[in-house]
Structure 1
């Protein structure tokens, strides 16, 4: 029975492309002192009011432990605050600091530039087709988590 080669699999090619675009983005973010996972937390909090860590974990499909570690790092960097929850004496709310809020648009511009640098080798119809197909795969497989690695 023949054994398929690594590059006989669509997943192999998707991973090669994903690794290249993700690693480029990670390097660009590292220059700003932020990881991809930290960027994802900052971006989610940018559009939302202060929220409990459990809500953030659910929104991002991460564990509470992962959110705790990420929020500790972001707080140490002065980008996130923890405040007592007004309705739950045991809980707290996570929110961006003014510095964190000001940083998000420049990080989003880095994300945009990274996408442009990688995907502009495709012409507009190719890019649209790729976008449509990848989104269809994500929706049809019920993938809801925020990719952070």
Structure 2
């Protein structure tokens, strides 16, 4: 298989994954309701998730990881700080730098959103036959192991 064929196959598979997710996500609106209730945007939640799972905890590191400008990340961090979802402390090495961490409230929000997403996806795949659900679970487990 040539490189071009491999890229083409990956693009086709990527498109199928996207189409599948579009069919099964947000079927009940629980995820969107959780975001609205918390007064946060999807980008803010993605930043919060990144911060919760990353060893890097400075705005500049987050900006680099998320391919965003530092001012955009700083603005999101400020909003998350105001909502008590993120804490900021001066870096021990350089007081001009801030170390960020997800607060207890932020972790609780991430948990609520994850539960809402799971409920939305479960509702979205409920119409699949048991055999297809079993096969899908097996393929997804295998794929996650490799990732």
Given the two structures, how large is their TM-score scaled by the length of structure 1? 0.62
SS across alignment from 2:101: strand
- The equivalent of 2:135 in structure 1 is 125
- The equivalent of 1:112 in structure 2 is 118
Please report the RMSD computed on the Cα atoms of aligned residues, expressed in angstroms. 3.4
Q: 1:127 to 1:94 in 2, by over 3 A?
A: same
Q: After TM superposition, list the pairs within 5 Å mapping 1:64-75 onto structure 2.
A: 64-75=70-81
1:21 to 21, 25, 28: 25
Q: By how many angstroms is 1:78 displaced?
A: 1.1
1:90 to 90, 96, 120: 96
Structure whose residues are more often helix by fraction: 2
Q: Extract unaligned runs of 5+ from structure 2.
A: 1-14
Q: Extract unaligned runs of 5+ from structure 1.
A: 1-10, 140-149
2:65 to 42, 59, 63: 59
Given the two structures, how large is their TM-score scaled by the length of structure 2? 0.63
- The equivalent of 2:108 in structure 1 is 102
Q: Is the 8 A contact 2:23 2:124 kept in 1?
A: no
